[in-house]
Amino acid sequence: MADLLVFTDKGIYCPQADVYIDPWKPVNKALITHAHSDHARSGHKQYLATLDSVPVLKHRLGSFIKIQGLAYGENITINQVQISFHPAGHVIGSAQIRLAYKGEIWVASGDYKVENDGLSGQFQPVKCHSFITESTFGLPSFKWKPQEQVYQEINDWWQINKDLGRTSIISAYSLGKAQRILNNLNTDVGPIYAHAAIENTNEVLRNQGFNIQASPKIENSGKSDKYKGAMIVAPPSAIGSAWTKKFGDYEEAIVSGWMNVRGIKRRRNAERGFVLSDHADWPGLNSAIKETGAQQIFVTHGYTEIFAQWLCEQGYDAKAVKTAFTGDEEVDLNTETV
């Protein structure tokens, strides 16, 4: 039997159902794992995604797109292929996509993390024969600390800055990391504000019923004292730009899995780096793959060659495949246009 999913120059393709998963060139029917720009692109005729990600997709790609939403676990059948979406825990609305045809089951994971952040849903291991995984942090040196510990570090840092009369600015991409941080800030420390790009996304999510920490938009005015001691959450593109001048004395921090590596932290000129990621770490990737029970593994982005070789040595039939996904938080943030 031919493979249920194949890798083409437009994206991951299911010939039987004639659908693509996260295609990077325009197609008729696109299944979207999540709304980040390297996975959800404009120009497709029809979109299929989770109900939770429909509003953000419309916000980012335009309200005119033709899109159908499915609840997690709900089935739809296209030309005998049963398709369903399952929580990936990456960002709000993110999903792994399961396709089943004549007893053969494939799962494409998009991006995922196994730790529950309270917003993105708990990653659900889905039994399958073939699993398509990311490997953004697919190296043994990436091991995350429990998230509570990192939130504590962020709040401590904020408190110290506040005591010194400084503003704290944190960079976080506007879908996912930003909400995760906002919801774990200690509101006793001081006021919280967000960059307009983030607050616009927040409003979309609040309208969907998600409970996101109130975070007034930064006003488009000159230097102001009202931000003294405040916490500002901003997208990475705003950091280090003239925009930050209005905050007077401030300190910037970057929140990313990459902050685990001192060299990267230095390159990005982060005064403070907090290690917190929306991707699975090394133990997370390994346990997630094991729990699928899959024998065949495709590694789509990240340290693909290295990770695939490691999986082969663990007894899997693993291959690295070339895709246009970056999964790279850095790239994701920099190409973000919202």
Partner 1 sequence: MKIFTNLISELSQTNSNLKKTNLLSNYFLQETDELNKLWVIALLIGKKPPRTVNTTLLRQWCAEEADIPLWLFEQNYHIVGDLAETIALILPISVSNYDLKLHECITLIQSLKNKTEPEKKEFVLDIWRNLDDDQIWIFNKLITGGFRIGVSKNIVIQSLAQAMNVEKNAIAHHLMGDWSPNKTTWSILFNFDHGSADISKPYPFYLAHAISENDLQSLVADEWTAEWKWDGIRGQLIRRNGEIFLWSRGEELITDKFPEFEQVDLGEHDFVIDGEIIGWKDDKPLDFQSLQTRIGRKNITKKIQHDTPVKIIAYDLLELDNNDIRKLPFEERRSLLEKIVTVNNHSMIILSPQLDFKDSQTLFEWRAKSREVGAEGLMLKKKNGAYHTGRKSGEMWKWKVNPYTIDAVLIYAQRGHGRRASLFSDFTFALWEGDKLMPFAKAYSGLTDEEMKEITNFVKNNTIQTFGPVSSVKIELVFELAFEGVALSSRHKAGVAVRFPRILRWRKDKNVKEANQLDDLKKLLK
Q: Tell me which residues touch partner 1 (CB under 8 A).
A: 139-143, 258, 260-264, 266-267, 269, 271-272, 303, 305-306, 309-310, 313, 324, 328, 330-331, 334
CB of 210 to partner 1, least distance (A): 31
By three-state DSSP, how is residue 187 classified? coil
Select 243 or 303, whichever has its Cβ closest to partner 1.
Answer: 303
Taking CB atoms within 8 Å and a gap of at least 24, the contacts of 52-55 are: 52/92, 52/93, 52/208, 53/92, 53/93, 53/94, 53/95, 54/93, 55/204, 55/205, 55/207, 55/208
CB-count exposure of residue 97 (10 Å: 0-12, 13-18, 19+)? buried
Least Cα distance to 304 among 287, 285, 288 occurs for 285
Can you tell me which residue has the tokens 């990459």? 258
Establish how many alpha carbons lie within 13 A of residue 217's alpha carbon, considering only the half-sphere containing its beta carbon.
Answer: 11
CB of 203 to partner 1, least distance (A): 31
Residues in the chain: 338
CB of 281 to partner 1, least distance (A): 11
CB of 262 to partner 1, least distance (A): 6
Select 305 or 317, whichever has its Cβ closest to partner 1.
Answer: 305
Select 51 or 306, whichever has its Cβ closest to partner 1.
Answer: 306
CB of 249 to partner 1, least distance (A): 12
Select 85 or 258, whichever has its Cβ closest to partner 1.
Answer: 258
Cα 272 from Cα 231, distance rounded (Å) = 14
CB of 156 to partner 1, least distance (A): 12
Select 215 or 277, whichever has its Cβ closest to partner 1.
Answer: 277
Select 28 or 335, whichever has its Cβ closest to partner 1.
Answer: 335
